[in-house]
A and B are shown apart, each in its own frame.
Chain A
Amino acid sequence: MPINAYLRQDGRKGIRNTIVVAYLVECAHHVSREITFPYRNQDVHLIGFPGCYPNEYSHKMMERLCTHPNVGATLLVSLGCEGFNKGKLIESIRKSGRPVKLIGIQDTGGTRKTIAEGKAWIEQTMKQLEATPRVDMAIDELSVGTICGGSDATSGLTANPAMGRAFDFLVEKNATCVFEETGELIGMEHWMAKRAATPELGKEIIGTVAKAAKYYSAMGYASFAPGNADGGLTTIEEKSLGAYAKSGQSTISGIIKPGDIPLQGGLYLLDVVPDGDPKFGFPNIVDNAEIAELIACGNHIILFSTGRGSVVGSAISPVIKVCANPKTFKRMEDDMDVDAGRILEGRATLDDVGHEIYDLILRACEGEKTKSEKLGHQEFILTYKTFEPIGPACLPSAA
């Protein structure tokens, strides 16, 4: 049974019909927030880049996010003097065919006038978007990402393997599935290499994890929070073992970097660790930085496992929260979409929960709001990074 999706002017299909308001520097944040706030429960989401200095990575991220298939229209808010290449950005968005407007606070004449102009455009555009054409979307046109956050030792026992089963079901139908966080796959590189579609890709995977290990060593910290330890995880390898489970058991088809959109279905590893010497600090300062990167790679929807109890959602793509720990679920049920922890209480099998997640993905694509959506979570964060393009061994050759 096909999904009832939104058809974009560029032919891509989305599962939400969101207006994105994007500030192009922190100086434009307040004005953008004031424009968005009255419509925040009507599918108008706020994203933005805080920095004044230009950065290739953040430009590519903003371009991919503003032209994401879940996004119906984009309002760009500039202060006027910032370094973001707004001309290039609006040109890319115009090329995608979706409605776009750029307003500048300095040109328009200050806070009040810009807020008024922004809100007027939102109201007019919301009406326009009511006419967005609907179209059938098959599973092989769906792109799903996965992340774990607020992990404890139950994450790798219940939620992650169950999400891995859901990924297996999706990849069987040739959907695009993306997992990430090489900093939390430390020690798993040889297992992943065995699952690689080609030996060359296997070598790239090993190299990608080595890059992450080196980068985090330079930072002086592994990707590990105090809550992980309180929850029973002792080492980065143990955390990685649990995190690895969410990739399922399918063949790994390729490695992508933020903003790369796979052209074929299959399972992909998203390399989120910057290339070269550390230039800008920690690779992913928080889970939502990774979620933004998954979305920039085309993910319509994000699976998020948590043991300690993360509450975040995201702008643009809905987050399905899979709770690994039965105690956390009882305490925070309003924020959790799936009770995977019940596996540890003998109330379900791994496959039961895997099927439940798969069904929930389809229902969310059909419009059913996830718990974090209902609670208004639309977190977004974008920082500075630097990447080399992926090498030729990283993607499957054209079929």
Chain B
Amino acid sequence: MAYFQKTDDSGVLYLAAGDNIAVATAEVPAGTTVEVANTRVKLLSNMAIGHKFAVRAIKSGERVVKYGAPIGSASADIAPGEYVHIHNLGSDYMPSYTLEPVQDRE
């Protein structure tokens, strides 16, 4: 596994070839267009440090890949530049977060 040594000042970081997400390394506002993964992506949400966005379209059920490793599967279709987090990405192992209120689980 090759860890990056340093960042540039673009505010985003693409970690490994083959990843379908990139991370923000600074607060980057929605609407910013960034150059990442050999493509231009327009951010659809404000990004906080460390948070993820899609670098290309991801279909519901598709594996999300970060630093060359699967980190779960999309639970909805995701557009390029869209914020990726608990609302559209779920674990393939075990729930880390109970989202549904108790009464809906019956």
Binding site for B on A (CB under 8 A): 152-154, 156-157, 161, 164, 186-188, 191, 213, 216-217, 221-222, 224, 226, 228-229, 231-232, 234-239, 241, 245, 249, 307, 325-327, 343-346, 348-351
Max chain A Cβ within 10 angstroms of own Cβ: one of B3, B15, B90: B3
* A226→B96 CA distance, assembly (Å): 9
State the CA gap A242–B70 with chains docked (Å).
Answer: 12
> Does the CB pair B94–A217 fall under 8 Å?
yes
Q: Does B42 contact A (CB under 8 A)?
A: no
Nearest CB on B from A348, distance (A): 8
Q: Which of chain B's residues have a CB closer than 8 A to the CB of A350?
A: 3-6
Assess whether B84 is interfacial by the CB under 8 Å rule: yes
Select the residue from B50, B66, B67, B84 with max chain A CB neighbours within 10 A.
B50
Q: How far is the CA of A346 from the CA of B85 in the complex (A)?
A: 25
Q: How far, in whole Å, are A238 and B1 apart by their CA atoms in the complex?
A: 15
Give 15 CB contacts A-B under 8 Å: A153-B52, A157-B13, A157-B15, A161-B3, A186-B93, A186-B94, A187-B70, A187-B92, A226-B97, A232-B48, A235-B89, A237-B72, A237-B92, A238-B66, A350-B5
Contact B93 A153 (CB under 8 A): no
Say yes or no: B71 contacts A234, CB within 8 Å: yes
Asked whether B51 is an interface residue with its Cβ less than 8 Å from the other chain, the reply is yes
Contact in complex: A235, B90 (CB < 8 Å)? yes
Chain A residues near B66 (CB-CB < 8 A): 238, 241
- Count how many chain B residues have C-beta atoms less than 8 Å from C-beta atoms of the other chain: 36
- Contact count A vs B, C-beta below 8 Å: 119
**Any A CB within 8 A of the CB of B44:** no
The smallest beta-carbon distance between A10 and chain B, in angstroms, is 40
- The answer to the question of B103 belonging to the interface, with a C-beta cut-off of 8 Å to chain A, is no
Q: Convert B33-73 into 0s and 1s, putting 1 for each residue whose CB lies closer than 8 angstroms to a CB of A.
A: 00000000000000011111000000000000011011110
A229 touches B86 (CB 8 A): yes
CB distance from A149 to the nearest CB of B (A): 16
A18, B23: Cα distance in complex, Å: 44
User: Which residue of chain B has its CB nearest to the CB of A151?
Assistant: B50
Inter-chain contacts of B49 with A (CB < 8 A): 153-154, 232, 325-327, 344
Residue of B nearest to A231 (CB): B50
Q: Tell me the nearest residue of chain A to B89, going by C-beta.
A: A234
B100 at the interface (CB under 8 A from A): no
Within 8 A of A (CB), among B1-25: 1, 3-9, 13, 15, 23, 25
Q: Are A344 and B96 in contact (CB under 8 A)?
A: no
Q: Knowing A222-B95, A241-B66, A241-B71 are in contact, say whether A346-B6 is a contact too (CB < 8 A).
A: yes
**Bound CA–CA A344/B1 (angstroms):** 19
**A153 contacts which of B9, B50, B95 (Cβ < 8 Å)?**
B50
Q: A187-B93, A236-B96, A326-B49 are in contact. Are A153 and B23 (CB under 8 A)?
A: yes
Let me know if A344 and B71 touch, CB within 8 A. no
Chain A residues, Cβ within 8 Å of B89:
234-235
Q: List B contacts of A226 (CB < 8 A).
A: 97
Cβ distance A161 to chain B, nearest Cβ, rounded Å: 4
A326 to B9, CA, bound (A): 14
Which residues from A are CB-within-8-Å of B91?
222, 234-237
Residues of A within 8 A of B50 (CB): 152-154, 157, 231-232, 307, 325
Q: What's the least CB distance linking B93 to chain A, in Å? A: 5
B26 within 8 A of A: yes
A349 touches B6 (CB 8 A): yes
Q: Which residues of chain A are within 8 angstroms of B7 by Cβ–Cβ distance?
A: 343-346
Cα A217 to Cα B23 with chains together (Å)? 29
| Contact between B3 and A245, CB atoms less than 8 A apart | yes
User: How far in angstroms is the closest Cβ of chain B from A271?
Assistant: 18
Determine whether the beta carbon of A344 is less than 8 Å from that of B26.
yes
A153 pairs with B51, CB closer than 8 A: yes
CA distance A154 to B85 in the complex (A): 15
B94 near A222 (CB under 8 angstroms)?
Answer: yes
- B9, B67, B94: which has the most chain A beta carbons within 10 Å? B94
Please name all residues of chain B whose beta carbon is closer than 8 Å to the beta carbon of A237 when the two chains form the complex: 69-72, 91-93
Task: Give A327 to B94 CA distance when docked, in angstroms.
Answer: 30
Is there contact, CB below 8 Å, between B93 and A236? Answer: yes
Knowing A154-B50, A241-B66, A344-B49, the reply to whether A191 touches B71 (Cβ < 8 A) is: no
CB pair A344 B3 closer than 8 Å? no
Q: Give the CA-CA distance A241 to B50 in the complex, in Å.
A: 14
A350→B71 CA distance, assembly (Å) = 23
Top 8 A-B pairs, shortest CB-CB distance: A153-B50, A224-B96, A235-B91, A238-B71, A232-B50, A235-B72, A232-B51, A161-B3
| Nearest-CB residue, chain A, relative to B72 | A235
